[in-house]
Amino acid sequence: MGPTDEFELEARRRGYRRIAGVDEAGRGPLAGPVVAAAVILPSRCRLVGVDDSKQVSESERARLYEVIVERARGVGVGVATEQEVDCLNILEATRLAMRRALASLASPADCLLIDAVTLSDLAIPSRSIIKGDTLSLSIAAASIVAKVTRDRMMVAYHQAYPEYNFLSHKGYGTEEHLQRLAQHGPCAIHRRTFAPVAQLLRGHEGAWPLSRTGLGKSSRTIQ
pTM of the model: 0.91
Please list the residues that pair with 24 across neighbouring strands: 36
Model pLDDT, residue 66 = 97
CA–CA dist 171, 79 (Å, integer): 15
User: Tell me, what's the pLDDT at 205?
Assistant: 59
Determine the Cα–Cα distance for residues 114 and 153; give it in Å rounded to an integer.
Answer: 23
Average pLDDT over residues 25-44: 97
Beta carbons of 192 and 88 less than 8 angstroms apart: no
| 24: pLDDT strictly greater than 90 | yes
In this model, does residue 41 exceed pLDDT 50? yes
Burial annotation 90-113 (CB, 10 A radius, 16+ → b, else e): beebbbbbbbbbbebbeeebbbbb
CA dist 139 and 135 (Å) reads 8
Q: What is the pLDDT at residue 75?
A: 98
pLDDT digits (tens, 9 = 90+) for 89-134: 999 999 999 999 999 999 999 999 999 999 999 999 999 999 999 9
Query: Cα(25)–Cα(35) distance, rounded to whole angstroms?
Result: 5
- Average pLDDT for the chain: 92
The residues, any chain, with a CB within 8 Å of residue 161's CB and separated by 6 or more, are 187, 188, 189, 217, 220
pLDDT of residue 204: 64
Residue 214: per-residue pLDDT = 45
Give the chain's domains with CATH numbers: 6-156 (3.30.420.10), 160-217 (no CATH)
Distance CA 91, CA 12 (A): 29
Q: Would you put residue 206 in left (φ > 0), alpha (ψ -120 to 50) or beta?
A: left
Summarize pLDDT for 175-220 with one digit per residue, the tens.
Answer: 999 999 999 999 999 999 999 999 999 886 555 443 344 433 433 4
Residue 169 has pLDDT above 70, yes or no: yes
